[in-house]
Amino acid sequence: MPAPAERKRLREAASLSQEQIAQALSVRRETVTGWESGRTEPRPPKRAAYIRLLDGLAARFPAPEPPATPARTVPAPLAAPGVQPDAAAQSPMVPRRPESARAAARKQAAPATSDERFTNGPLAIIDGDGAAYCVGGLVLDCPLTDLPALVEWTLREAKLGAPRLHRSGKDSDPLIVLAASGAERLGLPAMLEDRRGLRLPDDHRVVRQLTAAKWKLTKRGFGPWARVYRTADGARRQCVQFAILPWDALDTRAWGPANQLEPAELARVLGTYATRVHTPRGSTAVTGLELMTALRPSTRAVKDPATGGWVSGPMPGSLTEPVECAPPEAPDGHPAVAALYPRFHQRTPDQVLNEEAYQWARPLTDAECMKPHVVGIDVNMAFAAAANRLTVGLSAPVHVQRPAFDPKLPGSWLVDLSHITFDERLPNPFTPNGERPQGPAWYATPTVAYAAELGHQVTPLEAYLRYEHGPYLDAWYTRLRDAYIATMADLGITPGMPEDQFLTAMATYQQTDPVAAAVLNAIKATVKGGIGKLRERPRSGGWRPGEPWPALARPTWRPDIRAAVIANARINMHRKMHKLATDAGLYPVAVLSDCAVYASDGPSPLDFLPYKDGKPLPGGFRLGVSPGMVKHEGTQSVLWAEGLTEDHGPDVNIARHIKTGVLSSQDNGE
């Protein structure tokens, strides 16, 4: 097989396009792009056909000097920090087939980390041939006789895992991702019969093998994401995380079609995500929550003054133990709600904290109907941006009557904001539906602080306040921001790009590199899912309202923090919409979470976003890649917007459908 550069030379010498090669071989154009860039290698049966094609072209267009035949390689991760692409891997293992192309690729692959314990990176994707595809193009041979043997190999020989993100944290356990063929070789079924519990029965042969080898499973058993462990041996953990691809371990809503990728490509996707964010530990929501505790562990080593030895103590600035939430912060079904209200009681705004994202729309005015377009803009990483520099509570709430409002004090406040009015063409900032409050209601600190910022008097009736507080999510935001910016750079989109170039690049970035696009989607899902997990609801089918559920025992079950982040994101949106309204006379016609739609004379955001002295209006929306800036979400005609309202009623929100123009509940921005 010629080198990737030679493949491209031969095609261009014959004046053939990648599309023509793809049609001849019955593959996608992106597949040919991968072959020519060296990111992927053709696999049977396409490999033989591709070789015949290249041999024919080589006979017609010989190179000035015969190119050296390279060893088989697989793609490196997306500019992973700390990886030197030309460095040689240092590993004591000897593959079963040392003369194979796989062995050559293994010798050429770069170390995934400078930590000698984790030389081969955080994870491996294993197929039915016993090939373990790691980051950096590394391919190892592994045993597939049974699952206990694979666990032993992972812990003793594979050198997989990742170093801790905080000095008081824990190293990331190795992740083994089983492709369908690998799962079949180990005796795992093609699908789980238990569709509710999503786990193998305890008497399944694979589970019995693990038990016989003295390995344990967590309470969730062996399912799409399984943790196999033994009690820690001294300071070293003995734990392996498994992800089973045929059991839908990778949710398509977060990962797109990643589970359909070839193992080498999937290693690139997951390896890049693991390097930049965190080794996956379940869904992106689970990983988002795990990232919080990885960056801010709940405990640290402290010296016991009595004995002089080291013991575990709470970590300042972290969530160190589970705390009871305030009654208005508790979701329906929580024990605190059941203790106060009869079953099926519908709580009113003065009984429940309802800080949610915007879902608001209004009819177009006559002047707006005369414009040809409606254009949607979407805030990048809106919830992550809202978490940045946000002070949140770290302790249990303290109930206070008639407190003076303090914008620096996180908590939940019962206050009447119904006297504050806005132009009817703007959503009200104090309710998710954009309607004016009808009386006293519970709000998180960012919402009440915005009312005070606008110059209005706020007089809380009572509050649940957290006097111990801090910027708990700052490190979480920073890591996800850096991961997002780095991945966008892989797609050719960087901070500081001219706005017209930014819009052009954003229009096609998902086709630039589908692998990087999959990583980007997973990063965004990690943000939203991680914030959502702070108020995880019951998941068991046997749960009854009023009963506690397992998530309540976590220090990170904090509905008040979730409410503060969402409130801050909604207020950030309103602050910018209010600026455009007061300074430029521009009003949104619909808002859905982080997407706002405006009537426009042209199809681009540049056709309606206001500028002052040649620069974007200060305090308004700005086009760009950074979190908190906006991108183009979609454009439709005003006739489309009016037709949608006529066909589906005034409650339809055009912001939900602006991207595709098709009525679908899935089109909701990021």
Q: What is the mean pLDDT of each run of 10 residues along the chain (670 residues)?
A: 86 84 81 80 80 82 55 44 37 35 45 78 95 94 95 96 94 96 95 88 96 94 96 77 96 92 95 97 97 96 86 93 96 95 94 97 95 98 97 97 97 97 97 97 98 96 97 98 96 95 93 90 97 92 90 97 98 98 97 97 97 93 97 97 88 93 57
Residue with tokens 């009681």: 345
Sign for the pseudo-dihedral over CA of 62, 64, 69, 70 = negative
Q: Which amino acid is present at 621?
A: F
Longest pairwise C-alpha distance within the chain: 88
3-class SS shares of the chain: helix, strand, coil, % to 5: 35, 15, 50
Q: Which amino acid is present at 551?
A: A
Could you list the beta-strand ranges (E) of 31-149. Answer: 123-126, 131-133, 139-141
Alpha carbon distance 139, 231 (integer Å): 30
Alpha carbon distance 399, 411 (integer Å): 10
**Considering the entire predicted model, what is its pTM?**
0.83
pLDDT for res 77:
46
* Number of Cα atoms under 13 Å in the Cβ half of residue 644: 25
The strands making up 131-133's β-sheet, listed across from edge to edge, are: 139-141, 131-133, 123-126, 175-178, 236-244, 225-233, 216-217
Alpha carbon distance 590, 363 (integer Å): 9
Which residue, 389, 169, 174, 171, is CA-closest to 295? 169
Sign for the pseudo-dihedral over CA of 295, 297, 303, 307 = negative
Q: Are 640 and 376 in contact (CB under 8 A)?
A: no
Alpha carbon distance 246, 310 (integer Å): 45
Which residue, 92, 43, 32, is CA-closest to 72? 43
Paired tokens of 576: 């910018």
* Number of Cα atoms under 13 Å in the Cβ half of residue 593: 15
pLDDT for res 52:
80
Burial label for 64, CB within 10 Å (0-12, 13-18, 19+), is exposed
Alpha carbon distance 117, 108 (integer Å): 19
DSSP for residue 162: B
DSSP 412-445: EEEEE-TT----TTS--TTSTT-PPP-SEEEEEH
φ, ψ at 324 (rounded to 5°)? -70, 140
